[in-house]
Amino acid sequence: MLTAFFVLASMLAAIGFSATAEAGKWPNKGPSGKKFYYPANKKISKKHGKLIWQRKSQIGVRLSSARVNKVIAYSSRSIFGQKVAVTGSIAVPKGKKPKGGWPVVTYGHGTTGIADICAPSRNTPNGPANSYITYIDPELNAILEEGYAVLRTDYQGLGTRGIHPFLIGKAEGRSVIDIVRAARDMKRGLFSKKFAIAGHSQGGQAALFAAGLAKKWAPDLKLRGTIAWAPASHLADQVPLLPALTSPSSLSALASLIVRGASVANNAIDGKALLSDEAYAFYPDTKTECLGALSEPDSFGGLAPSTLLRPGADQAPLLTTLSANNPAVATPQPIFMAQGGLDTTVFPFLTNALNDELVALGDNVDYRFYPGANHSSVIVVSEADSLAFLNARLPSPR
């Protein structure tokens, strides 16, 4: 019996598995409920990208093609240099771990809202942001099936303490990168140093900022490429367009989130002074409601973008902050960027201009334009192209 046990143990070791990993024993199990999202300051490392704790994902967060689904809390740094806790989720592919660990795709999600209940790692099947979170699941499952681990940050301040600095690139980019370091902190050898970045909409902007930050922020990791689907860009250039948009629109909800997020980065931005009385009446809801509710006719969705700003308000602080967060970044690794011609959220002319800016900075951009795609379907129609880019830059073990 003892001989058989030692033979079995030797076989498991030889094929790269451990009894601990297969038994599901992971380090630093975190508390249940909302306490998971609010770790005490003393538990947050001064070093960014360090694991705080982990636990199993709930149903609305799990990816069906994963062998293991976890939610984690980890350390990062705010745009002001303060240590902060960030949450997110990890999904490990099915099958045998390759030599060197699973290659990683770290994903930046699209806009869900600013309220803590909008954090993707808190999602439930009937959650207030469910449709804004799970639309990407088929693509993420496809990436898992190709043999890549998928990591998804919630971003700083979304689900955790503080206000989410919506569309503030440095905060988003650090969150996208630091979850890779934290995942590697969980289990030695499970995840590779080699990684790619992907993101859609807000997450496309986050992905590009992460690509620009990666070399200095995480020199211990090896970025191989970035995928940006319909990335948000040129926000400052869109402010002068608001007066022309005279019909009620869900874009008003997005604009309210942009003001709130920019105010985190620049305290000279005063929502009450900047927004009209009509718009400011709904402004507190940005802290409690997700994008879907804010887009309804009884909220910002009932307002025309032309009515949002107070006549004569000083727009300079807002414009300065938004200009500083345009994702025209320099990165030594290639970028795959996709844009749909029917997109009415991220307008094609803005992504065309961003492509020109990235190329002018010396970036290697594979820009694909899909005339019949809208803001969300561009992910589906570009799947074969984006997976081919991913496999070329970060070869799949399968």
In a domain, 32, yes or no: yes
Residues 227 and 294 in one domain: no
Question: 249 and 105: one domain?
Answer: no
Task: Please answer whether residues 287 and 114 qualify as being in contact, where contact means their C-beta atoms are separated by less than 8 angstroms.
Answer: yes
Q: Are both 114 and 202 inside the same structural domain? A: yes
Q: Are residues 137 and 155 in the same domain?
A: yes
Looking at 323, 353, 385, which one is the last position of a domain?
323
- The answer on 174 and 104 residing in a single domain is yes
Instruction: Answer whether residue 246 is part of any domain.
Output: yes
Q: Which of 276, 292, 323 is the last residue of a domain?
A: 323
Q: Are 149 and 85 part of one and the same domain?
A: yes
User: Are 223 and 280 in a shared domain?
Assistant: no
Domain count, the chain: 2
Tell me if 94 sits within 8 A of 65, measured CB to CB. Answer: yes
One domain, residues 64 and 208: yes
CA atoms of 88 and 140, how far apart (whole Å): 15
Same domain, yes or no, for 282 and 341?
Answer: no
Is residue 45, in this structure, part of any structural domain at all? Answer: yes
**Residue 67 falls within a domain, yes or no?**
yes
Amino acid 234: pLDDT: 98
CATH number for position 131: 3.40.50.1820
* Whether residue 226 is found in the same domain as residue 155: yes
Residue 193's region, left for phi above 0, alpha for psi from -120 to 50, else beta, is alpha
Residues of the chain with pLDDT under 70: 1-24
289 domain-assigned:
yes
Predicted local confidence at residue 31, as pLDDT: 96
Instruction: Say what the pLDDT of residue 24 is.
Output: 52
**In a shared domain, residues 287 and 337:** no
> Minimal CA–CA distance to 174: which of 211, 135, 120?
211
Within a domain: residue 1? Answer: no
Do 217 and 245 fall within a single domain?
A: no
Q: What are phi and psi of 107, to 5 degrees?
A: -110, 135
Residue 20, domain member (yes or no): no
Place of tokens 């143990």: 9
Closest CA to 62 of 53, 54, 71: 71
Looking at residue 187, its pLDDT comes to 87
**Token pair recorded at residue 322:** 């938004």
pLDDT of residue 177: 98
In a domain, 129, yes or no: yes
Going by the DSSP 8-state scheme, the letter that residue 29 receives in this structure is B
Residue 49, domain extent: 28-233+326-393
Q: What is the pLDDT of residue 4?
A: 41
pLDDT tens digits, 310-361: 999 999 999 999 999 999 999 999 999 999 999 999 999 999 999 999 999 9
Sign of the alpha-carbon dihedral angle for 147, 26, 135, 394: negative
Separation of first and last alpha carbons in the chain? 36
Q: What angle do helix axes 169-186 and 202-217 make, rounded to 10 degrees?
A: 60
Looking at 302, 323, 344, the residue that finishes a domain is 323
